[in-house]
Structure 1
Amino acid sequence: MLKRNILTITLFSATLWFFPGKSFAQNSLAWPEITQQAKPWTRWWWEGSAVDTVNLKWIINEYKNAGLGGMEITSIYGVKGEENKFIDFTLPKWMNMLDYTLKQAERAGLGIDMAQASGWPFGGPWVKNADASKYFDYKIYKLSGGQTLKEPVIYDQKGILRQEGQKIDLAVLKKPITANENLQLLAIDQVRYPETLPAETLMAYSEKGEVLDLSAKVGKNGMLSWKAPAGKWTLVAIFQGLHGKMVERAGPGGEGYAIDHFSLSATNNYLNHFDRAFAGHDLSYLRGFFNDSYEVDDAIGEADWTPDFLSQFKSRRGYDLKGHLPALVGLASADENKRVLTDYRETVSDLLLEHYTMAWHKWAAQKSKLIRNQAHGSPANILDLYAATDIPEAEGDDVLRVKFASSAAHVTGKKLSSSESATWLNEHFLSGLGDVKRKMDMYFLGGINHTFYHGANYTPKDAAWPGWLFYAAVHFTPDNTFWEDFPTLNNYVARVQSFLQLGKPDNDVLVYLPFYDAVAIKGRSQLVHFDGIEHGFKGSSFDSAANQLYKAGYSFDFISDRQVQNTKAENGLIRTADVQYKTIIVPAAEQMPLETLQHLVKLAENGASIVFYQKMPQDVPGFNDLQNRRAQLAKIISGLKFSAKTATVGKGRVMLVTDLNDLKLLNVYAEPMTASGIEFIRRANATGKYYFLVNKSGKNITGWVQLNAEAKSIAVFNPLVGQSGYGAIRHKNGNTEIYLQLKNSESVIVQTFDDEDHAANYQYPEVAGEPVSVKGLWTIDFINGGPSLPAQVKTENLRSWTDFEGQDYKNFSGTARYSVKFGKPKSYSDAWILNLGSVESSAKVYLNGNLLETLIGPDYQLIIATSQLKKQNTLVVEVANLMANRIAYMDKNNRPYRKFYNINMSARLKENRGEDGKFTAKNWTPHASGLIGPVSLTPVKFNKPQ
């Protein structure tokens, strides 16, 4: 057994590199094939679906040349002034444009997915009231023996109108909502008309425990024909109403109610619309369909009911909810309230999984199409929703939130998990490519291997700058000042994903998700909307365990109760789909379904190791057959005879630990590198393992890095510059170590080989002297951008171009070319670090007419071989700044560019909101731009690591 020693890494104040730049020749290894699927894809906003063949062909070529792999078409709200070009979603003209797009994308080698709604969530004008989302409310009535109810059993539904567009009085809105002709202008998020709702169910409960169904005794006028028998009675009436959630950000022809996600007939009726729209069209090149998260919960009230809920509940939970309505609304004992609420929420979870996600998947599979689904935000076990999807898709800013999607992919044997990436990364117009790269690294560390940028707008070639925009940043469009440098980021993503799509996940631990603890907590609303750990599990033992495991360097995935049932023990390991894990950890679950515990014990009996962290579950969830299930659970737990943390069960064992470091007793070890600030994700194939590593320490790192993998040789790949080679390794105290030099935020991929012995051919640079300043007269030419091109500048003192005299420099967003001549430094070295100093925000670097690299940050340094330097040299640096300064100029001078229906356009930060509550940059001061320097050359030599 390998000994696991804590990693020791030396930190140097000097900047060191593991990889020389493209300009320095060395032996290299072949990268995996860069496939269409390995390249980054993007959400592709069709505003108003105002697309035409000329501009579709042009912009598809732009995407191809930028290095994208595909696009996901999402039809959304339109652009004001372009109404004559609007195309209604899924109508014949729209379908013709889809046909054309598929042909052009195939010609360009780009993939196409399609969002199956105009906006989100699923819904549209063809969704009738019967299929629209529903909610329930209730009333309580008290009667004594001999009394009759004097008031009608009715519910006065209050009107609701939430809008992003032109304000209108609810009283003048036509019914149904789709009868209104100006829905793009109104941009309605939610609407409920005032009306009187009849009771769906009326139940009576006596103080002696009698239960009567009075529903049939309620007349059409709402009056109850019933006299209360002797005793005191509580009557509970349930009312069903239209929730009123509309499709959000809908484009023309897509405005309408969101569907009832809990109704199978509503889902099928919704999908039947697409069957009719697709008839006669060749969609063979279309890869799949997409759903942009649940997002019914962001309205007033919740969609928490469906017409056949009571019958669905009875068939699934084994008892009649009508007998326990007081518990559903919190009027019974605390224990009964909790258990009935748990059963209610579990039923909602089941319906969302089976009647929506699985039904949609079945429909798509019949067309040989994939589905991508964002399950987060749903009132359900999102691990199960993700697992019912071909490509689970995450979004967000937290690596553990992302792991919910990738875990479902790993546990169920799916090759891909995707992400909606860089949504609201910074404020509008303030995100550079380096910012996006850092965000992409977080997704990769979370297990994502098929990214979608958020997003790219279709924009006509002749549209005035900044083109057509979406209400959320980042704007990946040809009008963005970083567009010419965008391929560098895309090549980076493609190289990383080319590895992360190979082999299989190589995680040691499965972490059980205590879903039933979460749904037992009443909270502020009837449902719990799960969104990673933050929403649903914050502060729980699961939260604590997951964060401890990640920070300590353990590799793990999450697993649900339903997924536990599909695992089996195999050679002492736990197999699920086509991967194996060393153990399942159960983090202090208060309640656990009897079936789950039974299966965990069965796994142990067959040779697996199961770990309970902090304590064993002491109860079962739910109400039905409670005493019998409790007794069986207690019997199983009492049968576990622990000695020194371990109970032997059949061929395996069950452990009860209070310290996660006890995982070492199962030969489960953390990767020591995390102690120094290197984060990782690991995959495996037949010849060894792949690690994607990111230096998150905030410092530059150089030294020996221990890997929990035996290896005879290790290849290293730098995805940003595309270089590769065999690294220096050593075996120390039974451990395999590789020598790495990682700049802050730098990422590399290391590939271990179990049986192949390759000599190290990488040369490791070390600083060999003091930096030499690159001095001289810099000529600065502004070559592309606006609002106008500033005049040429010549200076010996580099600084932000916004500091030059004249307003043109302060307003300018675009590209400037910096040129300087310098002599070859006198001191000898193997190579030189060219350090550009401060750059805002990306830079192409040319030496003597040859392109060396495009630098996107966070640092702006590369290595130049001494042989590339002449006696006299010309350095050219083309720097693109952000869009911000030109946008600020437009806002300060009332130049229109915010010309969109619906949300037009929101600010991420409150300080950037104008008097109208929308985004403005009019108060911005100029953002630093250009080559700020200082520029220097630092000598380096290459030495064998010691």
Structure 2
Amino acid sequence: MSDFQEIRRLFTTPEQRHRPWTYWWWPGNSVTKKNLTAQLDEMLDKGIGGAVIVPIYAIDETQPTIEAFSPQWNDLVVHVLKEAQRRNFLIWLNIGGGRLPGGPFVTEQTACQRLAARSERLRGPRRIDADIWLYAAKTHQSQLGKAVGPHLKLDSIHLLHRDERNRVRECIFIDNPPERGVRWIWSLEKGIFDLIVCFRYPTGQRVAHASPGWEGLVLDPYNGEVAREFIHRTVEAFGDTGKAFASSSFMGWYLEGFEAPGANYTPDLYEQFLKRRGYDLRRRLPDLWDNLDKDSEGVRQDMLRTLAELQTERFYDPLFEAIERQGLKFMLQPQGATSNVMALAARADYPAGEAIGPRTYEKYIDARGRRFISSSARMHGQRIIPAECYTRLHQSRYCVSLELMKASTDTTFLGGINHVINHGLTYTPPDAEPPWAYCEPTLIGPGQTWWPHYRPFSDYVARLSALVQNSVSVQDVLMYAPLADSFARTLESIPLKRGLDNTWGQELTGEPGIDSGAAMGRHTLPCADPIDEAGYRFDYIDAGTLLNAARCVDGNYVVNGYCYKIMVFHRVGYLPIEVMRRLRELIREGCVLVAVGRTPMGLYGKAESEAHAAEFQEILDELYPQGRTKDNIRPVGKGLVYEVETPVDLVRLLDERITPDVRVDPPDPNFGFLHQMADGKHIYFVSNCSQKNRLLRLGMRIPDGRVEVWDPITGRMAEWPLSIHEEGRLWVTLDLASYQSYVVVVDPARKPGPRLRHHTFDDVEIVDGRLIGWSSTNRNSATLENGQQREFMSNNAGGHVRPPGLWRIEFPAPLKLVLENAKLKCWTKSAKTRHFSGFATYTSDFEFSGRLEDVRFEIDLGRVFEVAEVRINGQTIGVSWKPPRSLRIPDGVVKPGLNRIEIAVCNLGHNAHLLDKSDSKWEPRKSYGQTRAVRGVKKEEPLPSGLHGPVRVRALHRVEIE
């Protein structure tokens, strides 16, 4: 079976392997084998395909707890693996007993360390007589508390003598600062001085949401000894037990992003820096917080390059090796690492991204969480690219709807992800009321009103995963991931403030500390958004991949089979010398490079710049010579080098050289697309990333061919008549409801079927090569492919349907309310139902009179909040969980005469939980975070609920168009 045939099969019938995985939080590990088995069955029933077991804090501290990775805990995991093996269910284990590596074995000396500075402007002549240790400690008292004192160490004192123009005339380095309690005495000559005191201390960061027995500090990510201890207590402690399941249910190990804000020091940093970079960092520490001379940015690069190497060699390398020895897989979220996140993603068996925060249902480029990971994964052959999804999608867990999750799913896939990890599902005893819930807002499991109807949503996700995992992505543009620039320009985030503490950080993360993904994303974002909005897909490429995998083929960059027409440097100022060499080779062979905003001006770090200055200048002169042409275009060998000033200029250049992959008429910044290929077929996933309905024309830069449109919610596939090929593009007309998506499939090898430019029918199908219209009215029109307009009249519009009138509405316990002869209205309009959350059943009748031949039926529910299951004459028609709220009624269900209609509708849990505070008893100690049902809700008002309608049953009669 070809890849495309497999895609068609999987789209029709989603399989377990493509269904979402989920975080499976075990509170306090207070679990039983019986309940674990029951919850496995529940997950399978709802359409979940795998789980990441994550030990967390005890929610109900009256229950007995079990320490993670103890023999008793291992036995419970083995039970799960056996049960999962019988169910074709996949299991991962979180590395550690909470979020972030660490625990009680981590001491103040082996915990995360922060290097910081305090600066103050002084004028001489004057005599300094001060307790410098106290001067530094007071800066951090609010952050670190009383325990900081014994652990704060002074590193050095620097006096920067400045002239009247604020230039540094001299830097006085004092490498033996006084001990605690000893006053420092110094005489300043006349002039302006900056006193800079550099010091270090433990950050105090603790393992988040730690399970019993794992409470403690987060380990120093650059310290090999403590990293090996952590691996011994986790991966190696369970590894032999898990080997027996390695080829079946036990996939391997999972590490969530190692986000250690402010961790920029380790005890042998200065020794390692001298060894690797060749000069004394302590003498240049002020350069970390100020631009003192031309080498300051190079010093910052060398500092972070050293930390990145230490983190890779001492933490990640041993972890990869330990998992590989076991024959298991490693699913790694590299976010937060100082090390190059793209290089880490390239090594992982399953490189994982994340879609976190309330904006994830909006269309935007998330380089840190998604695009860096997916780009690297594709280029290195990883077929499955998962991501943690829906985290903090809404600050109240009971305000999260399936529609909102669907919107977030679409934007996550637009970022290159192709498998979903729910965040998440909490183990809960069957008699717990309310069900246990992890402290993060999003809850996807028991306790959500819509949980009984989660499976149709799982079908949607599985169809998308099967589609993207079994096809090849198409991108036009490569964008260089500027790690060296990100390491150089930390001052653009948090400048040195006189008289205030400064720790090295990135504005994007909101916390001190370096995060390579956040830094590179911040640097490239001004260029990434315009490329995307102009109708081009792009991938990032890092230095290692450019060096080792990129080739020039017919003037294109080819990376492990993926073809790119142009590479973009957005304000790239620094490059490793090896990249400069390789770049020149590729351009000489015929590739095209566009520099936006600036051209390279130096190498990666002070040490490398000094060692290769002459060679750098030679390459630079060839690529960017003085006296450039008027249009800033430079032929280099068979290739070209362009210079443009702004991202707008870049888009103009792309339009001239390539033309967009997709054009949308009318233009819409909230429209997103993926372009995939399988067996010569073009596959476009298109999504309306907004709440507004969109009628648009999609113009694809592909040859003409047979067009099909697939609906990933229903799995329905049909040849599409609303298409036309003109001006070098295949245009397809689509009507998209809020947050709706389609898959457009084009086969250039097949002749197009009959086409229309426009029509007024309810629906048009192509059946056996003929255009068939379906209409609920007597008059319709259609514009044929040749421009001819035809009118269609009918005396019988498929019979008559008398719509449902009044309704019987039944609310179950605890309300136990029945409303007879009721009109449709919002539940919040009545005091009795204002705070009800759950399912209510609506019952009514509609009457059909007329013939059944050549007629099909549809039901339109109107407005629904939130999920509706429809039954007609006792037969389930389907579940509607987002607009459009129309369902096709299967043939043979509607009978002449009266027909009974039942609609079970559930709202969101928010309304009931505005009053119900009972789950406050599940609130753990402060260090674990809040677990209130309603978290951060700005407007504590009930949400719209129930079936608002109007409900219409339409009889559509068949009309032959052509």
TM-score scaled by length of structure 2: 0.81
Most deviating of 420-429 and 391-400: 391-400
Alpha-carbon shift at residue 72 of structure 1 (Å):
0.9
Which AA in structure 2 matches 1:420? E
Deviations 1:344-373 (A, max 9, x none): 233333333443334422322222223233
Tell me, what secondary structure is at the counterpart of 2:10? coil
Question: Is the CA contact (8 Å cut-off) linking 1:713 and 1:753 kept in structure 2?
Answer: yes
Residue 931 of structure 1 pairs with residue 947 of structure 2: yes
Mapping for residues 413-562 of structure 1, pairs under 5 Å: 413-426=381-394, 427-464=396-433, 466-519=434-487, 520-522=489-491, 523-524=493-494, 525-528=503-506, 536=519, 542-562=524-544
Question: Is the CA contact (8 Å cut-off) linking 1:727 and 1:739 kept in structure 2?
Answer: no
Alpha-carbon shift at residue 743 of structure 1 (Å):
3.0
Q: Structure 1 residues 528, 803: CA separation in 2 closer, same or farther (over 3 Å shift)? A: closer
Q: Distance in 1 between matches of 2:508 and 2:276?
A: 22
Q: Distance in 2 between matches of 1:419 and 1:573?
A: 30
1:86 counterpart (65, 82, 88): 65
1:181 aligns with none
Tell me, what secondary structure is at the counterpart of 2:43? helix
Q: Distance in 1 between matches of 2:615 and 2:271?
A: 23
Most deviating of 736-745 and 765-774: 765-774
Mapping for residues 111-130 of structure 1, pairs under 5 Å: 111-130=90-109
2:730 counterpart (728, 736, 744): 736
Alpha-carbon shift at residue 161 of structure 1 (Å):
9.7
Tell me, what secondary structure is at the counterpart of 1:247? coil
The RMSD of aligned alpha carbons is: 3.9
Residue 59 of structure 1 pairs with residue 39 of structure 2: yes
1:38 aligns with 18
Alpha-carbon shift at residue 37 of structure 1 (Å):
3.4
Most deviating of 558-567 and 234-243: 234-243
Alpha-carbon shift at residue 866 of structure 1 (Å):
7.0
Q: Distance in 2 between matches of 1:139 and 1:866?
A: 77
Most deviating of 405-414 and 347-356: 347-356
Q: Across the two proteins, how many residue pairs are aligned to each other? A: 866
Q: Structure 1 residues 644, 161: CA separation in 2 closer, same or farther (over 3 Å shift)? A: closer
Alpha-carbon shift at residue 111 of structure 1 (Å):
0.9
Alpha-carbon shift at residue 134 of structure 1 (Å):
1.2
Residue 569 of structure 1 pairs with residue 542 of structure 2: no
Alpha-carbon shift at residue 160 of structure 1 (Å):
8.0
2:758 aligns with none
Alpha-carbon shift at residue 875 of structure 1 (Å):
1.1
Alpha-carbon shift at residue 534 of structure 1 (Å):
11
Tell me, what secondary structure is at the counterpart of 1:325? helix
Which AA in structure 2 matches 1:503? S
Aligned-pair identity (%):
23
Mapping for residues 143-292 of structure 1, pairs under 5 Å: 157=137, 192-195=147-150, 197-199=152-154, 239-278=199-238, 280-283=240-243, 284=246, 285-292=249-256
Alpha-carbon shift at residue 263 of structure 1 (Å):
2.4
1:636 aligns with 622
Alpha-carbon shift at residue 463 of structure 1 (Å):
1.0
1:7 aligns with none
Q: Distance in 1 between matches of 2:215 and 2:152?
A: 25
Mapping for residues 779-928 of structure 1, pairs under 5 Å: 779-783=808-812, 786=813, 788-804=814-830, 807=832, 809-824=833-848, 830-864=855-889, 868-871=893-896, 872-891=898-917, 896-901=920-925, 902-905=928-931, 910-911=936-937, 924-928=940-944
1:653 aligns with 640
Question: Is the CA contact (8 Å cut-off) linking 1:380 and 1:529 kept in structure 2?
Answer: no
Which AA in structure 2 matches 1:649? V
2:115 counterpart (113, 120, 136): 136
Alpha-carbon shift at residue 836 of structure 1 (Å):
0.9
Question: Is the CA contact (8 Å cut-off) linking 1:88 and 1:251 kept in structure 2?
Answer: yes
Tell me, what secondary structure is at the counterpart of 1:518? helix
Q: Distance in 2 between matches of 1:895 and 1:212?
A: 58
Q: Distance in 1 between matches of 2:631 and 2:909?
A: 63
Tell me, what secondary structure is at the counterpart of 1:131? coil
Tell me, what secondary structure is at the counterpart of 1:673? strand
Deviations 1:796-843 (A, max 9, x none): 411123444x63x33332212211111015599743442111211101
Which AA in structure 1 matches 2:419? H
Most deviating of 317-326 and 597-606: 317-326
Mapping for residues 657-672 of structure 1, pairs under 5 Å: 657=644, 658-672=649-663
Question: Is the CA contact (8 Å cut-off) linking 1:842 and 1:881 kept in structure 2?
Answer: yes
Mapping for residues 558-637 of structure 1, pairs under 5 Å: 558-566=540-548, 567-624=550-607, 625-626=609-610, 627-628=613-614, 631-632=617-618, 634-637=620-623
Most deviating of 636-645 and 244-253: 636-645
Q: Distance in 1 between matches of 2:586 and 2:960?
A: 49
TM-score scaled by length of structure 1: 0.82
Question: Is the CA contact (8 Å cut-off) linking 1:46 and 1:74 kept in structure 2?
Answer: yes
Tell me, what secondary structure is at the counterpart of 1:343? helix
Q: Distance in 2 between matches of 1:895 and 1:686?
A: 53
2:284 aligns with 324
Alpha-carbon shift at residue 235 of structure 1 (Å):
9.8
Deviations 1:448-494 (A, max 9, x none): 11111111111111111x30012222211223211111001011100
1:8 aligns with none
Alpha-carbon shift at residue 594 of structure 1 (Å):
4.0
Which AA in structure 2 matches 1:77? Y
Q: Distance in 2 between matches of 1:826 and 1:121?
A: 67
1:70 aligns with 50
Alpha-carbon shift at residue 596 of structure 1 (Å):
2.9
Q: Distance in 1 between matches of 2:385 and 2:562?
A: 16
Structure with the higher fraction of residues in strand conformation:
2
Alpha-carbon shift at residue 380 of structure 1 (Å):
5.0
Alpha-carbon shift at residue 306 of structure 1 (Å):
0.8
Alpha-carbon shift at residue 63 of structure 1 (Å):
0.2
Which AA in structure 1 matches 2:71? P
Gaps of 5+ in 1: 1-27, 164-168, 172-191, 913-922
Question: Is the CA contact (8 Å cut-off) linking 1:773 and 1:935 kept in structure 2?
Answer: no
Question: Is the CA contact (8 Å cut-off) linking 2:118 and 2:136 kept in structure 1?
Answer: no
Gaps of 5+ in 2: 1-6, 162-167, 495-502, 510-514, 755-764, 779-799
Q: Distance in 2 between matches of 1:762 and 1:265?
A: 68
1:175 aligns with none
1:400 aligns with 365
Q: Distance in 1 between matches of 2:913 and 2:473?
A: 44
Alpha-carbon shift at residue 700 of structure 1 (Å):
4.2
Tell me, what secondary structure is at the counterpart of 1:817? strand
1:50 aligns with 30
Tell me, what secondary structure is at the counterpart of 1:890? coil
2:719 aligns with 726
Question: Is the CA contact (8 Å cut-off) linking 1:126 and 1:273 kept in structure 2?
Answer: no
Alpha-carbon shift at residue 884 of structure 1 (Å):
1.8
Most deviating of 795-804 and 927-936: 795-804
Alpha-carbon shift at residue 688 of structure 1 (Å):
2.2
Which AA in structure 2 matches 1:429? Y
2:777 aligns with 769
Q: Distance in 1 between matches of 2:335 and 2:961?
A: 46
Q: Structure 1 residues 341, 159: CA separation in 2 closer, same or farther (over 3 Å shift)? A: closer
Tell me, what secondary structure is at the counterpart of 1:346? helix
Q: Distance in 2 between matches of 1:672 and 1:324?
A: 52
Q: Structure 1 residues 238, 222: CA separation in 2 closer, same or farther (over 3 Å shift)? A: farther
Alpha-carbon shift at residue 258 of structure 1 (Å):
0.5
Q: Distance in 1 between matches of 2:195 and 2:139?
A: 26
Which AA in structure 1 matches 2:30? A
Tell me, what secondary structure is at the counterpart of 1:928? coil
Q: Distance in 2 between matches of 1:777 and 1:318?
A: 84
